[in-house]
Amino acid sequence: MNIGRRRPTGLRGRLVVTFVLVAVTASALVAGIGFQLVRRALLDRAENGAVVDVRDVLERISLPIGTSDLLWPTDSVVTESDLNDLAESLGGPDRQVILRYGDQERLSTGTSLGLADVPAEVRRQAASRMVRERLLIRDDPWLLIGTQVHRLTRTGAVRPTGMTVFVFVSLKEEDGVLARLRTALAQAGGITLAVALTVALVSARSVLLPVRRLGDAARALGAGRLDTRLPVHGRDELAGLTATFNDTASALEQTVSELRALEAMSRRFVADVSHELRTPLTAMTAVTDMLTEEAERLPPDAGKAVDLVVREINRLRILVEHLIEASRLDSGAAVLSRENVDVGVALADCLEIRGWTGRVRLDVPRGLSFSLDPRRFDVIVANLMGNALYHGASPVTVTARALRSGLEVKVRDRGKGIPQEALPHVFERFYKVGAGRARSEGSGLGLAIARANAELHGGTIQVELCDPGTQFTVWIPHP
């Protein structure tokens, strides 16, 4: 991972970074523009002052130099002392002067620079006019002023005298002032950055506090606290968002209350109908037992009718029992009563009670004991084994083993298996695989009830396709 490329993804981080960037950019622009203005004004003032000073000194000289109206450059009247005096008058503590007159060259006292430090272009331009240029010579800043001295002839014409002057003016003082200014601006920039960061953090907190409250309120709604509301302050966008949240929460609370009331009514209706059906079903079951005993002595048509009635009454009895169990699970009235149970004995009893002994092969370690609700465990394995017997194919095997995490029971048949597209729906209520099973003895609730009882234990049921057949795996954790 490239840490250098990580970017803040939170709204708080983006607000802080944006605020700081804007503040730093504005501060940098103001500081940069201010520095350039000060630098230009300072250097221009130093440059103009030096030029005026050099021009004044040259205009005041009275040496007999120049045109044929006066004396030629090789005339002996201009002495070396005169040239030295002129160089010294142009020089100073922060200046170095190079003076050329004919073949003579004079330097001011303390001059360490020479004509080699004068650019050729400056020399060429200085022959006709005064030029100035800023140079960096051996890491020191200098202002170079170069010019040839001109004089008026007796006829009033301006002619060059042949004397060329190059004045190096040190800009160290100005450079020092600019350096101190840069340091001050950098310090001001650091202070600005600290202030901007502080203001950004405070502003981001004040801006994001309502957003954070909205997030907490939304999580509270998701957790089921539908009476959650937020106070509305002000009339800005966040206040409007808060008001909208409160309206939405109120509408959601009302809708959920209505749905819960309807769901409770539906559960009560199913429970009431199921309980009301138990009494007539009990009587009908007793009658069907008598009819079954007499069915062999009845005419063929009457016998078929009796078989049909008995089969449908059995289907209705199973449906009512499943509906009652489902209503108990939905209403939260189902209670788990754990006790230590011998798993092998419990599975054998389940087979014996339902007459399935011999049709299912058990593979359970001897003495395997586990803490569970025996009645609900019987409901789980009975539904799974019945589903394998009636809708799968023999041999049906049931294996159980103890894991570190809990108890694992697997029920497998060797039938053609459940279609792949039906696997996600097998635990849904009233779901039956294939149209041919619409009139089977099953109610379509068995697997859903089995899973609900497993979840009541804190466990799960999973289904997977095998080759051949289908396998259901029950896992119940330790209490």
Q: How confident is the model over 137-156, as a mean pLDDT? A: 80
DSSP strand pairing (470-477 vs 460-465): antiparallel
Of 51-55, 220-224, 273-277, minimum mean pLDDT range: 273-277
Structural domain including 450 reads 336-477
CA 392 centroid distance within chain: 50
What does the pLDDT average to over 199-210?
Answer: 76
**Structural element, H or E, at residue 285:** helix 237-294
Ramachandran quadrant class, 134 (left: phi over 0; alpha: psi -120 to 50; beta: rest)? beta
Residues 156 and 253 in one domain: no
Average pLDDT, stretch 279-303? 70
Question: According to the model, what pLDDT value does residue 54 have?
Answer: 83
Residue 314 domain flag: yes
For residue 343 the two structure tokens come to 């798993």
Asked if residue 122 and residue 26 are part of one domain, the reply reads no
In which band, very low, low, confident or very high, does the pLDDT at 345 lie, cut at 50, 70 and 90? Answer: very high
The three-class DSSP label of residue 197 is helix
Report pLDDT digits (tens) over 39-88: 888 888 888 888 888 888 877 776 666 545 444 444 456 667 777 777 78
pTM above 0.95, yes or no: no
Percent share of the chain, pLDDT over 90: 8
Lowest mean pLDDT among 89-103, 135-149, 325-339: 325-339
Q: Show which of 293, 308, 329 is a domain's final residue.
A: 329
Percent of the chain surpassing pLDDT 70:
81
**Which CATH number do you get for residue 366?**
3.30.565.10
Tell me the mean pLDDT in the region 15-38: 83
Judgement on whether residues 55 and 202 belong to the same structural domain of the protein: yes
Crossing angle of the two packed helices 237-294 and 172-222, in degrees rounded to 10: 30
Per-residue confidence (pLDDT) for residue 407, from 0 to 100: 92
pLDDT in tens, 354-383: 888 888 999 999 889 999 988 889 889 988
Task: Find the range with the poorest average confidence among 137-146, 275-284, 399-408.
Answer: 275-284
Residue 295 pLDDT class (50, 70, 90 cuts): low
Q: For residues 346 and 306, state if they share a domain.
A: no
Mean pLDDT of 192-217: 80
d(CA 76, CA 104): 12
Number of domains in the chain: 4
**37 and 68 both lie in a single domain:** no
Out of 329, 364, 388, a domain closes at: 329
Higher pLDDT pick, 398 / 392: 398
Determine the average pLDDT of the residues in 219-248.
83
Query: 49 with 185, same domain?
Result: yes
Q: Could you tell me if 166 and 182 lie in one domain?
A: no
Do residue 440 and residue 363 come from a single domain? yes
